[in-house]
Amino acid sequence: MKKLLLFSLAVLLSGCTMLEKKPDQSEVTLAPNELMRQAKILQKNEQWSEALDLINRWEKQDQKHSANAQINSLTEEIKRDWKMQKRTSEDWILVYETRSLQQKLPYLERLVAIDAENLITRSRLLFWKKLLESKVSPLISCGSMHLHLEPALAESCAQLAESIEPTQQSAHLLNKIKQTRAQEKSVAQTKKAVQVKRDLSQQRDRLLSTAIKQRDEASFQESINNLNKLLRLNPKDTEAKQLLEDVISERDQRVERLIKFGDALYRDEQIDQAVSVWESAEKMDEGRPDIASRIDRALKVLERLREIKEVQ
Q: Would you state the pLDDT for residue 51?
A: 94
pTM over 0.95: no
Cα-based distances in Å from 40 to 35, 47, 55, 76, 311? 9, 9, 11, 12, 92
Q: Would you state the pLDDT for residue 218?
A: 86
Q: At what angle do helices 271-284 and 220-233 cross, to 10 degrees?
A: 10
Average pLDDT across each block of 10 residues of the chain; the chain has 312 residues. List them in order: 48 48 56 91 94 89 70 93 94 96 94 91 94 94 90 92 91 88 85 90 92 90 92 91 92 91 90 90 84 89 81 67
| Nearest Cα to Cα of residue 121 among 133, 110, 131, 130 | 110
Task: Please name the amino acid found at residue 302.
Answer: L
* Topology of the domain covering 193-306: 1.25.40
Q: Would you state the pLDDT for residue 69?
A: 87
Q: Would you state the pLDDT for residue 21?
A: 43
Q: Would you state the pLDDT for residue 180?
A: 83
Q: Within 10 Å of residue 53's Cβ, how many Cβ atoms? A: 15
| Nearest Cα to Cα of residue 274 among 259, 285, 289 | 259
Domain boundaries, the chain: 32-166, 193-306
- Give kind and range of the element (H or E) at residue 232: helix 220-233
Dist CA 137 CA 170 (whole Å): 10
Q: Would you state the pLDDT for residue 305?
A: 79
The CA R_g of the chain, rounded to the nearest whole Å, is 43
Dist CA 174 CA 157 (whole Å): 9
- On whether the CB atoms of residues 142 and 154 are closer than 8 A, the answer is yes
- On whether the CB atoms of residues 74 and 52 are closer than 8 A, the answer is no
Q: Would you state the pLDDT for residue 1?
A: 46
Q: Would you state the pLDDT for residue 109?
A: 94
